[in-house]
Structure 1
C-alpha cells in the first residue's frame, strides 16, 4: 500500500510539474509571437506610420523601431530580474506577459499618421519599447522558473521547452500572418488587416496570464528576503566570472541562432538565388523541425552533462560555420538546403536546448533571474539583434564571406567560455535544490 501511495504521489507531482512548464512556457510563446508579429506585418503598416519616402525608407524606419525593442531588452532583464529575485518568479512572469499584452493591444488600436500626424510613429515606438522591456524580462525569469521547477535528472528535457515555445511563437506568428494574407486583399491588409495579428496576440496573452496565475512560486521566502536578492552589486561582487562566461557563450549562441533562423531566409534568396516562396517553405519546415529537436537535445544534456553539450556546441560551431555557409550559398535544391540548415541548427541545439538552464545553474537563487536575464539581454541585443544588419553590410560591401568568419570568431569565444564554465554536476547551484510544487 505504501508503494502505491508513493507511486500516486510521484505521478501527481510529475503532473503538477508538467502543468507548471506548460503555464510558464505559454507566456514565453505569446511573448515571441507578439515580438515577431511586428516583423512579419511591417511591410503592410509601414506607410500608415511613415508615409513620407519610398518603400525602402519606410521599411528602414519600421526596422529602426524593431531594433529599439532589442535595445530595451537589457533594461527589461534588469527590472524583471530584480522583481523575480526579490518578489518572486511568478509575479515577474505575470507582469511581463501583461505588459506584452498591453504593447500588442496598443499597436492593434494605434491611430495612423493620417489621423494624428507625428504622434502616430511616436506612439508606435513607445508600444514597441514596452514590448522590448517585456521580452527582455521574460527570458531570464521563465528560464529560471523552468530550471527550478524541473525534476532533478530531467532538467535538460524540461528546460528545452523554453526554446520550443520561443521558436513556436515565431512559427505561430508566421502562420497567422499567412492566414490573414490568404483571407484579405492587399488593400485590406494595408488598410486594417495588419492589425489582426496584434489583437490575436493580446488575446493569447490574456490566456497565458490566467495559466500563469495558477503557477506555484519556486523561489523561497528565505532567498527573497536576503539583502543580496536582486542586487546588481552582488552579481559583480561575487559572480563576475560567471556573468562574463554567460555573456561569452550567449554572444556566440545568439549570433549563430539568428544567422541560421531569421537571416537564413534572406540568405537563401539573395545569395543562393532561391525563389522567395520556395525559401519561405524551406524555412518554415526548418523551423518546425528545429523546434521539435529541442527536447531530444535537452535529454542528451541530462545523460552526458551540460558542459559536454556546451563544448560540442562551441567546438562544432567553430569548425563547421564557414563550410556550411559556403555549401548553402551553392545549394541547388530545396531538399539540400533543408538538410544543410538542419545540420547547422542541430549544432546550435546543443546550446539552445539548455540555454536558460546552463545559465541558471551558475548562480544562486537570490540573484539567479537577474543574472540570467541581464547577461542574456545584453549579449542578445548586441550580437543577436545586429546579426541581420551585419550580414547584409558585409554582403553590400562585397565581402560576404567575412560574415562567416565573424560568426566563427564569436562561436570560438563561446567555446572558450564553455571550457571555462564550471561543470554543473560538480559546482552547479541547482544541485541539491528541489522545489516542492
Structure 2
C-alpha cells in the first residue's frame, strides 16, 4: 500500500478512544433515559395516571418503566441476529436511532389531562420501543469492544460498556437534580421533566455519525450462520442459561441500588428529592470510575473470582445497609449506603459483562450476548422497582427489597463454577 493509501486509511480508522465512545454512547444514552425516568417516576405518575392513588401512581409509573424490558428479549433476538449476519456497525446505528425515537415520544407526549387514556399508551409505546432497541444494543456493542481487544486487555475494553452505564446515570441524575433545584415544582410538573428526554434526542445524531465510521474485525458474511438464534438455543443452550443467571446478579443490584433507591428514599423514607437525586449521581460516578479499574483487575486475576467475592459481600451487607439507612434516614447515610453498594456493583459487573460474550463463538456471539443479557435484565431487573414497591406494600417491611436482592444474587453465584473463565486466553472463533 502506498503512503497516500495508508494516510487515507488511517484517517478513516477510529482511534481506541473513538472506538470506545462509538461502542458505548448508545448504552450511555439508554441509561441516561432510564435514570431520568426513574427519578421523575413520581412526576410521570401524577401526569399520566392521575386517577389513581399516590401509591397506584407510583406503581403504575415504575411498572411502565418495566414494560420496556418485556421487549428486550425480542430486540436481543432480532438485532443480535442482524449484528451477526450484517455486522456490528449497522446494528448499532439502528439501535441508537430507535432509542432517540423513544426519547422523543416521551419528551413530547401529551398528558392524561390533554388526551386521556391515550397519554399513558404513548409512554408505554415509547418504553416498548426503547426496550426493543436496548435489547440489541448491548449485544452488538459489547461484542465489538471485546473483539477489538487482546487476551491482555479484553476485560478493560469490555468494562467500558459497564462504565458507560455509570456515565449515563451520572448525567441523568445531574440533569434531574439541577431541574429539581432550580425550577419551581409547578414549572417542573408543567414542562421541566421533559427537558432531559429531548436532550437525549439531540445526542443521538452524534452517536450515529461516529458509529458509521466504525471498522469491524473480519467480514460478517464470512462468519455468519444461517439462523444465529436457532444455533444459540440448539448448540449453546447451556451457556445461554448460565449467562442469563449470571446476568441476574448484576442487574438486580444495579436496578435496586441505582434506580430504585432514589425513589425509595423519597417515597418511603421521606428524604428530600435533591438528596435522593444526589445519591443517584454518586452511584453513577462510582460505577463510571470503578468500572474500568475492575476491568483492568479482571485482566490480571480471574474474572470468576472478581465476580464472586463482591457478590458475596452484597449478600452479607445489603440487609444491614437497608436497616441502618431506614433507622435514621439522612443525607449522609443515604450517600454512604448507595456509594458503598455501588463500589461492589462495579467490581463484579464489569468482569461479568465481559464474561458473557466470551461464552459464545464469533459466528453467534452478538446473538448469544444479546439473548442472555436482555432476558436476564427483563426478568430480574426491569420489574425490580415494581417488585420492591409491592414487597414493601404487602409486608409493611421497609427492608423487603434487600431480601429480593439477596436471593437473586445468591442464586447467580451458583452458576460461576460452571462458566469457563477465559481470562488471558484467546476468544473462540
Coarse TM-score class (shorter-chain normalised): 0.7 to 0.9
Mapped partners of 2:209, 2:30: distance in 1: 15
Which residue matches 1:73?
Answer: 72
Where does 1:339-358 land on structure 2 (aligned, <5 Å)? 339-358=336-355
Which residue matches 1:430?
Answer: 427
Structure 1 residues 266 and 304, CA gap change in structure 2 (3 angstroms): same
2:356 aligned with 1:359, yes or no?
Answer: yes
Structure 1 residues 283 and 40, CA gap change in structure 2 (3 angstroms): closer
Mapped partners of 1:46, 1:377: distance in 2: 26
Mapped partners of 2:135, 2:62: distance in 1: 18
2:305 aligned with 1:308, yes or no?
Answer: yes
1:382 to 379, 383, 391: 379
Which residue matches 1:6?
Answer: none
Mapped partners of 2:328, 2:181: distance in 1: 30
- 146-155 or 44-53, which moves further after superposition? 44-53
Question: Cα deviations across residues 309-367 of structure 1 (Å, max 9, x unaligned)?
Answer: 12323433344434444444446764455444433333322321123211011001111
CA shift, 1:165, in A, is: 1.3
**Are the equivalent residues in 2 in contact too, given 1:272–1:330 (CA < 8 A)?**
no
2:165 aligned with 1:180, yes or no?
Answer: no
Question: Cα deviations across residues 148-183 of structure 1 (Å, max 9, x unaligned)?
Answer: 122431111121111211121122122223333445
TM-score normalised by L of structure 2: 0.87
Which residue matches 1:34?
Answer: 33
Which residue matches 1:417?
Answer: 415
2:188 aligned with 1:189, yes or no?
Answer: yes
2:366 to 355, 364, 369: 369
Q: CA RMSD in A?
A: 3.0
**Are the equivalent residues in 1 in contact too, given 2:38–2:263 (CA < 8 A)?**
no
Q: What is the total number of aligned residue pairs between the two structures?
A: 420
Structure 2: gaps of 5 or more residues: 1-9
**Are the equivalent residues in 2 in contact too, given 1:307–1:424 (CA < 8 A)?**
no
Mapped partners of 1:280, 1:365: distance in 2: 41
2:204 aligned with 1:205, yes or no?
Answer: yes
Which residue matches 1:119?
Answer: 118
Structure 1 residues 177 and 333, CA gap change in structure 2 (3 angstroms): closer
Structure 1: gaps of 5 or more residues: 1-10
**Are the equivalent residues in 2 in contact too, given 1:33–1:173 (CA < 8 A)?**
yes
Where does 1:46-65 land on structure 2 (aligned, <5 Å)? 46-65=45-64
**Are the equivalent residues in 1 in contact too, given 2:59–2:386 (CA < 8 A)?**
no
2:232 aligned with 1:241, yes or no?
Answer: no
For the residue of structure 1 that corresponds to 2:362, the secondary structure is: coil
Mapped partners of 1:296, 1:405: distance in 2: 29
